[in-house]
Amino acid sequence: MDILLIVLGILCLVGGLAGCVLPMLPGPPLAYAGMLLLHFTDRVQFTPTQLLVWLVLVGVVQALDYFVPLLGTKYSGGSKWGTRGCLVGTVIGLFFMPWGLIVGPFAGAFIGELMGGRETVQALKSGLGSLLGFLFGTVVKCILCGYFIWQFVIALW
């Protein structure tokens, strides 16, 4: 049974890493599931504190994944129009996966800024901020999944 759980855990970790860049897979939650599968074997027992901290990290990273493009818009000089446009673009982008998650926040921030009366250059800057925010969120998800993979390998070593 342990071998099956370890193999399933490895598949979850690989799927989780893929999910960092493929929006249809929930990357960090899938990787966390892999860690839980390893925990249920007789070979490795993680502490409850580790499991709880990892769960909180997964929750924070998943939440940030939706808000970081908004912050990117705000800190690149975007107005309330751009921030709201980014939010609307993100929601609409969810229906056009996978590219909708990249183009949606960018287009939403850009269109929002134009509707708010900004110049095209400033609107593009705001859209670029949302895109950079999305890319930052992707990097953070990859780091967390990479950490889970590292912990998995060390635990089995």
pTM, entire model: 0.80
> Quick one: residue 117, left, alpha or beta (phi over 0 = left, psi -120 to 50 = alpha)?
left
Half-sphere exposure (Cβ direction) of 112: Cα atoms closer than 13 Å: 27
pLDDT in tens, 1-58: 889 999 999 999 999 999 887 777 889 999 999 999 999 999 888 999 999 999 999 9
Task: Calculate the alpha carbon distances from 150 to 14, 48, 112 in Å.
Answer: 12, 19, 42
pLDDT in tens, 102-126: 788 888 888 988 998 888 888 888 8
Measure the CA–CA gap between 145 and 122, rounded to whole angstroms: 35
Task: Calculate the alpha carbon distances from 123 to 18, 39, 101, 157 in Å.
Answer: 32, 48, 19, 51
